[in-house]
Structure 1
Amino acid sequence: MKTDLTRQAEKCIWYHTNKQGVFGCFEVTIGWFGKERVDFMTYSTDNTIRCYEIKVTFADLKSKANQTFIGDFNYLVITQDLWEIIQRDDSLAWKYYYQGILVFQENGIGITSVKKAKKQNVSLGTRSTVLESMVRSLNREVGKYYKATPFWEVS
C-alpha cells in the first residue's frame, strides 16, 4: 500500500516529466519474471531512458530493497528532509554518485533538481529489455483502467 507521500512524489514526477516526446510508466517490472521494479521510467524520442526511484523515509532509503538504476540517466526522488540527511552522510552521498537527486514538494506539484545525474552507458541488450519491460507495464496499466471503468463509460 502506497503512502500519501509516495503518491505525492508520483504526482510531482508525472508533472515534471509529462512533455511532448516523453513517455512514462509507473512500476516497471524489469524482465519477464523480473524481481526488480523501477518506480517510474521514461523513454523519450531522442532514445533516452530515465529511471526514477522514490524514497520518502530514511528507513526506505536504507532498506535492502533494490534500487533499480538501469537508465541512461537515473534519479532518486526524495523529500527535503532526506536530502538534508544525504548531505550530512558521506556514505550516502557516495552511494548516489551517478544518480541525480530530485526533491519533490510535499504540497504542490514541483520538483527541484539538487544534483544532476551522470550519463550511464546502457548496453543494447539492457536497453531492449528495459523497453520491452516498459511496454508490458504500460499494457498492464491500460488493462487496469479498462477493468476499473465499464466499457460503456470509456470514451
Structure 2
Amino acid sequence: MKTDLTLEMEKSLYFYCMELGGIVVEEVTMPEEHGIVDTLACFFKENKMEWRCYELKVSKADFMSAAKLSFVGDYNYFVLPTELYEKVQGLIPAEIGVLVYRRYDQFQEEQMAPGTFILAKKPQKQSLKVPEDLLLERFMFSLFREVRKAKQMSYGTSFFPTEALYKELKKRGQEKDHLHSENFHDRFFSDVENARIKSLEEELTALEQDYQFLKSQRKVKRRPTERLE
C-alpha cells in the first residue's frame, strides 16, 4: 500500500511533468522482465518522442529493496524526499538523475499539487531498454486504463453490469463496520426494502380501489325486462 507521502509525491510529479509539456501516466507495466515504471512521461522533442522514467522512493528501506528498477527510458530519475536523498546520494548511479521533492509551505486552492521538485542531479541519456513501439503500446494501454477509470467516475453505477455491482455490495457487506453510523451497505438495502414496501402498498391501494369499483357495479339495479305482447 502506498504511503501518504508517496501519493503526495506522485500527484505532484504528475503535474510537474505536465507543466513541462509531457504526457504522463503512472504504473506502466513493461514487457518481459523490465517491471513496472512508477511514472512514465513522454515529451516531444524535434518531432521525436523522448521517454522519461521516474522511480519514487520515500525511505531507505524502499530505496534498498530488491524490487525491479524500471529505468528503461531515454532519461531516468529517482524521485526522493530531501532527507532520503542526503542519505543515499552516494549510491545513485552516474547515469540516473534525481528530483528532490519540496512541499509548498502553504497550499493554495488554485494550486494543482501540494509540492514541486528541484533537479538535484541531471541524468545521462541512455538507449531505450525496450523497443519504442512496445513502449508506446504499454504507454497507451495505461492511458486507456486511466481514461476508463475517469469514465467510470463520470457514468457512475450505469457503467457497471448488475453482476459487478452485486459482487461489490456483497464484498462491502462482509467488510462493513456494523457499529458505524454511516454504514452505506445497510443503508442501501434499507432503501431497497423501503422502496419495495412502498411499491407493494401502492399496488395494494390500486387493487383495493378496483375491488370497491367492481363491488359497487354489482349493486346497480337493472330495469326488469318488459314483457312481450
State the TM-score, normalized to the length of structure 2.
0.58
- Distance in 2 between residues matched to 1:56 and 1:149, nearest whole Å: 32
Alignment partner for residue 101 of structure 2, among 104, 116, 121? 104
Which position in structure 1 is the counterpart of 2:146? 141
Higher relative contact order (CA 8 A, sep 6+): 1
Structure with greater strand percent:
1
- Name the SS for the 2:131 alignment partner: helix
Determine which structure has the larger helix proportion and give its number. Answer: 2
Q: Secondary structure at the match of 1:60?
A: helix
Deviation at 1:35, TM superposition (A): 6.4
Query: CA 1:141–1:97 in structure 2 vs 1: closer, same or farther (change >3 Å)?
Result: same
Shift of 1:37: 0.5
Unaligned regions of 5+ residues in structure 2, if any?
105-113, 158-229
CA RMSD of aligned residues (A): 2.2
Aligned to 1:4: 4
Q: Which runs of 4+ in 1 moved over 6 A?
A: none
Give the aligned partner of residue 79 of structure 2: 77
Unpaired stretches in structure 1, ≥5 consecutive residues: none
Q: 2 CA distance for matches of 1:67 and 1:106?
A: 25
Q: How far apart, in 2, do the equivalents of 1:43 and 1:149 lie? A: 26
Give the TM-score, by structure 1 length: 0.84
Question: Percent identical across equivalent pairs?
Answer: 34
Q: Does residue 26 of structure 2 align to residue 26 of structure 1?
A: yes
Tell me the residue number matched to 2:70: 68
Residue 12 (structure 1) shift: 1.9
Shift of 1:86: 1.6
- Distance in 2 between the 1:37 and 1:2 partners? 15
